[in-house]
Amino acid sequence: MLVTLVEKFLLVAMALQAALTFFVLVRMGQERVPRVMRGEIPMRDIAVDREAYPLKARLLSNNFDNQFQLPVLFYVVVILAITAGGANWAEVALAYFFVALRYFHTAIHTGTNNVMQRFQVYVAGFGVLALLWLVVLLRLLLSGAA
């Protein structure tokens, strides 16, 4: 199977999104594991919920969970765009814009956690993702139409 340049760019966008998820996971581990290992947080206090962790660890944990919400729909549409063939540069641009917004969302969520700003970036990401879905679906539904 020959992978086109456009498809390669889409694969890199997916890899960048996955890298963000891995990064947040590692940071979360760096915040959590040492505290448990030092005995600062008893295992029984974290067996069911995250409340025993300090704020930074909870923010990272919440953000990690968030990487399995909109990004899952992103992975699906990118895989659909690639496997169906005929992906285009508009789809690439939307994919990279979505990923950039996810990085920005993570920076806010795990940094200042300004909820209004975080929400605005989340909604923007949702809009870009919805537009990406629309572009891919229209391309596939209209392909071959006379």
Extract the tokens encoding 27: 């940071």
Instruction: Name the phi and psi angles at 88, rounded to 5.
Output: -130, 175
Q: Which residue has the higher pLDDT, 46 or 22?
A: 22
pLDDT higher than threshold 90 for residue 123: yes
- Single out the residue of 23, 14, 119 nearest to residue 64, CA to CA: 23
Q: 37 is written with which tokens?
A: 């290992």
Tabulate helix, strand, coil % of the chain (nearest 5): 80, 0, 20
Domains of the chain and CATH, by start: 5-142 (1.20.120.550)
With a cut of 90, say whether residue 125 has pLDDT above it.
yes
Distance CA 58, CA 89 (A): 38
Percent of the chain with pLDDT over 70: 97
